[in-house]
Amino acid sequence: GQQLNQSPQSMFIQEGEDVSMNCTSSSIFNTWLWYKQDPGEGPVLLIALYKAGELTSNGRLTAQFGITRKDSFLNISASIPSDVGIYFCAGQVSGSRLTFGEGTQLTVNP
């Protein structure tokens, strides 16, 4: 089945640093999404990408839909303590299920 490989698995950074994480797949997706999940809570949608090559920003977050349709990255600029959490990429082929990566655990040291 489809699998998403997300890297890195974890990151430890200082407050104020920029962060970059990515997601790759062996198969094509038509939509890429990025979610953030806090402990004991459901994932919260951050950014959705619909076109190959698309670059979209949401505040300090920027994400891109890879031209090959097999990858995506998420950047966080000027990190703050509340950015701590697990970030998941998710891909959708069409119409139904999302396939999720295994997540990147982000720790921000004040």
Partner 1 sequence: DTGVSQDPRHKITKRGQNVTFRCDPISEHNRLYWYRQTLGQGPEFLTYFQNEAQLEKSRLLSDRFSAERPKGSFSTLEIQRTEQGDSAMYLCASSLLQGKEAEAFFGQGTRLTVV
Residue linked to tokens 């809570």: 41
Q: Work out whether 100 is an interface residue with partner 1 (CB under 8 A).
A: yes
Sign of CA dihedral 103, 14, 20, 34: positive
Q: Which of residues 11-40 bind partner 1 (CB under 8 A)?
A: 31, 33, 35, 40
Tokens of 65: 């839909």
Among 12, 14, 26, 41, binds partner 1 (CB under 8 A): 41
Distance, C-alpha 40 to centroid of its chain: 19
Cα 59 to Cα 15, 79, 93: the distances in Å are 17, 12, 27
**Residue with smaller CB distance to partner 1, 44 or 78:** 44
Q: Work out whether 101 is an interface residue with partner 1 (CB under 8 A).
A: yes
What is the contact surface with partner 1 in residues (CB under 8 A)? 4, 6, 31, 33, 35, 40-45, 48, 50, 88, 90, 92, 95-103
